[in-house]
């Protein structure tokens, strides 16, 4: 008898994130400029027919990464983008109809994966002034909660948790035996991290990605850090040879070539400073303490700005509805200064010509 899982049939997914070539892409929090071309050319010199023809070898890169993080490989599982790791943590550490607590708005895939597996995703909303009160998170940590998802920093809100806030949350999570997943996709834009919790405590995971600061979104690579038994459960769910050989080669070269990471950070900081100075000078309210993205409250209709930026300026940005006191606003990825100059010029022109 034919069968289709109704959870999959009814699942809402976004499929229109293709055909972005030729645009300045400030909509998905990538590095719009990418890695320097001469760096890419140098790395590709190592690629030969056997490299392409053989299954990727994950052990070597896992060791490189463990060494970089000051841990050992039993604490790490490589994944095909951190979204894959998030999915497997939800799959393995929650049950059908199990309670998953997460803040909203946030990265939408937490809800998608929870629905995919028939979990009960409980939303903790932000305050009207776009702050998050950890009391509200703790209030949702009931005895039957199985997984708490935190993001540090959160996309799209850009907020972070202090050590003290995190300790308060963790205390309750431990008492109630709730697994905690901390998404650190935007680590390095913001140096604070809770990875030591994941490396030193059971039932705490950190997921990280090479798609953001490392500028490898096109290659797909991320990792799950956690306690060895938990990491093993994630590994069991991975498809064989799940991580791409090119991604691991590029990531290794970035980690090992002096100056590459710092150069990416410096360019980002210069672009961020330029953007914020321009927004301030032109009277725009904005929010985004950490991360490579920013919310901008526009003077006219944010959705119309998004449409006109795309059609007239070949710039892709996103609008978000119901963002507390910002209402419907823009979320813009931050890139190097020349990308920000292009964006600011277009914003100033378009935002005053909308009725």
Residues of this chain that interact with ligand PLP (CB under 6 A) are 29, 81-83, 107, 151, 155, 183, 185, 209, 211, 217, 222
Is 84 or 351 the residue whose CB approaches ligand PLP more closely? 84
- Structure token pair of residue 268: 């980002």
Q: Are the CB atoms for 188 and 30 separated by under 8 Å? A: no
User: Considering the complex, what minimum distance in angstroms separates the CB of residue 106 from ligand PLP?
Assistant: 7
C-beta of 209: minimal distance to ligand PLP in Å?
A: 3
Least distance from ligand PLP to the Cβ atom of residue 186, Å: 7
Q: Which is nearer to ligand PLP, 317 or 350 (CB)?
A: 317
User: Nearest to ligand PLP by Cβ — which residue?
Assistant: 81
Nearer Cβ to ligand PLP (185/350)? 185
State the number of CA atoms in the 13 A half-sphere of 7 facing the CB. Answer: 12
Q: Which is nearer to ligand PLP, 61 or 308 (CB)?
A: 61
Shortest Cβ 119–ligand PLP spacing (Å): 18
State the minimum distance, in angstroms, from the CB of residue 157 to ligand PLP. Answer: 10
User: At its nearest, how many Å lie between ligand PLP and the CB of residue 125?
Assistant: 17
Nearer to ligand PLP, 217 or 350 (CB): 217
Q: Taking a C-beta distance cutoff of 8 angstroms, is the pair 210, 255 a contact? A: no
d(CA 194, CA 207): 10
Between CA 269 and CA 291 the distance in angstroms is 11
Query: Would you say 65 and 255 are in contact if contact means Cβ atoms under 8 Å apart?
Result: yes
CB of 108 to ligand PLP, least distance (A): 9
CB of residue 151 to ligand PLP, shortest distance in Å: 5
Residue with Cβ nearer ligand PLP (103 or 329):
103
- In angstroms, the CA 69 to CA 48 distance is 29
Which is nearer to ligand PLP, 81 or 98 (by Cβ)?
A: 81
What gap in Å lies between CA 280 and CA 266, rounded to an integer? 21
User: What's the residue count for the chain?
Assistant: 355
Q: Distance of CA 219 to CAs 52, 216, 296, Å?
A: 14, 5, 30
Nearest to 343, CA basis, from 26, 17, 33, 21? 26
- 182 CB-contact burial (10 Å; exposed 0-12 / middle 13-18 / buried 19+): buried
Q: Please identify, using beta-carbon distances, which residue of 145 and 207 lies nearer to ligand PLP.
A: 207
Beta bridge partners of 207: 183, 224
- Residue 12 CB coordination number (10 Å): 8
Nearest 5°: phi and psi at 186?
-105, 20
């Amino acid at each position: 008898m034919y069968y289709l899982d109704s959870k999959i049939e009814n699942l809402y997914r976004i499929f229109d994130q293709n055909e972005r070539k030729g645009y300045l892409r400030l909509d998905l929090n990538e590095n719009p400029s990418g890695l320097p071309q001469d760096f890419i050319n140098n790395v590709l010199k190592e690629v030969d027919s056997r490299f392409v023809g053989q299954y990727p070898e994950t052990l070597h890169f896992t060791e490189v990464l463990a060494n970089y993080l000051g841990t050992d490989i039993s604490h790490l599982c490589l994944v095909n983008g951190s979204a894959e790791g998030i999915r497997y943590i939800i799959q393995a550490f929650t049950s059908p109809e199990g309670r998953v607590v997460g803040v909203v708005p946030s990265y939408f895939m937490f809800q998608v994966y929870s629905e995919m597996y028939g979990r009960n995703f409980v939303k903790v909303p932000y305050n009207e002034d776009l702050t998050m009160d950890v009391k509200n998170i703790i209030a949702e940590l009931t005895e039957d909660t199985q997984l708490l998802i935190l993001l540090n920093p959160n996309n799209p809100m850009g907020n972070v948790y202090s050590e003290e806030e995190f300790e308060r949350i963790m205390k309750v999570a431990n008492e109630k035996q709730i697994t905690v997943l901390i998404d650190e996709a935007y680590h390095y834009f913001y140096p604070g991290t809770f990875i030591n919790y994941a490396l030193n405590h059971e039932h705490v995971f950190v997921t990280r990605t090479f798609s953001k600061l490392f500028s490898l979104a096109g290659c797909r690579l991320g990792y799950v850090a956690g306690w060895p038994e938990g990491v093993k459960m994630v590994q069991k769910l991975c498809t064989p040879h799940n991580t791409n050989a090119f991604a691991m080669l590029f990531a290794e070269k970035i980690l090992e070539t002096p100056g590459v990471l710092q150069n990416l950070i410096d360019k980002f900081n210069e672009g961020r400073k330029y953007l914020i100075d321009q927004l301030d000078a032109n009277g725009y309210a904005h929010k985004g303490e950490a991360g490579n993205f920013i919310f901008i409250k526009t003077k006219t209709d944010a959705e119309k700005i998004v449409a006109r930026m795309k059609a007239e300026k070949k710039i892709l940005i996103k609008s978000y509805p119901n963002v507390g006191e910002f209402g419907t606003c823009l979320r813009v990825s931050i890139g190097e200064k020349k990308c920000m100059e292009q964006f600011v010029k277009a914003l100033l022109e378009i935002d005053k010509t909308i009725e």
